[in-house]
């Protein structure tokens, strides 16, 4: 069983940056990982994903060029560097994992393990 704990959220002004971290208990070395967010009053939406070895990354169009997903398998940790933040990025950000040896996907409901979420608020 994998447990995921996010950290690094907070309040930031538009144009600022935040770095989210997701620490896993239980190995995630062979699992694709993703960041998924839920804006206020909206459904969860895909943000970024990374393959088990970090060889490929995927982003929703809204964050391309501003966000970067990375992982450190030795530390069982996944990161999301968020730059040039805008109020539209305000959401609860979740870390999610798929089962080992599966492929990374942009489909939110195909992730099997979820963290509790961390709030990111961007003020204008």
Q: How do residues 26-60 score in pLDDT, each as one tens digit?
A: 888 899 999 999 999 999 999 999 999 999 999 99
Whole-angstrom Cα distance, residue 87 to residue 97? 27
How much is the pLDDT for 27?
A: 83
The arithmetic mean of pLDDT across residues 16-23, rounded, is: 98
Find out whether 14 and 31 touch, Cβ atoms under 8 Å: no
Q: How do residues 72-107 score in pLDDT, each as one tens digit?
A: 999 999 999 999 999 999 999 999 999 999 999 999
The arithmetic mean of pLDDT across residues 16-30, rounded, is: 94
Which residues lie across from 93 on neighbouring strands?
37, 118
């Amino acid at each position: 069983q994998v447990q995921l704990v996010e950290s690094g959220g907070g309040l930031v002004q538009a144009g600022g940056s935040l770095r989210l971290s997701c620490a896993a208990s239980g190995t995630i070395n062979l699992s694709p990982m993703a960041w998924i967010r839920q804006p206020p009053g909206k459904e969860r939406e895909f943000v970024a994903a990374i393959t088990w070895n970090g060889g490929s990354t995927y982003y929703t169009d809204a964050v391309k060029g501003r966000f970067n997903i990375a992982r450190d398998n030795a530390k069982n940790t996944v990161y999301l560097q968020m730059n040039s933040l805008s109020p539209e990025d305000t959401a609860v950000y979740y870390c999610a994992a798929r089962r080992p040896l599966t492929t990374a996907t942009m489909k939110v409901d195909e992730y099997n393990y979820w963290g509790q979420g961390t709030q990111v608020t961007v003020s204008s």
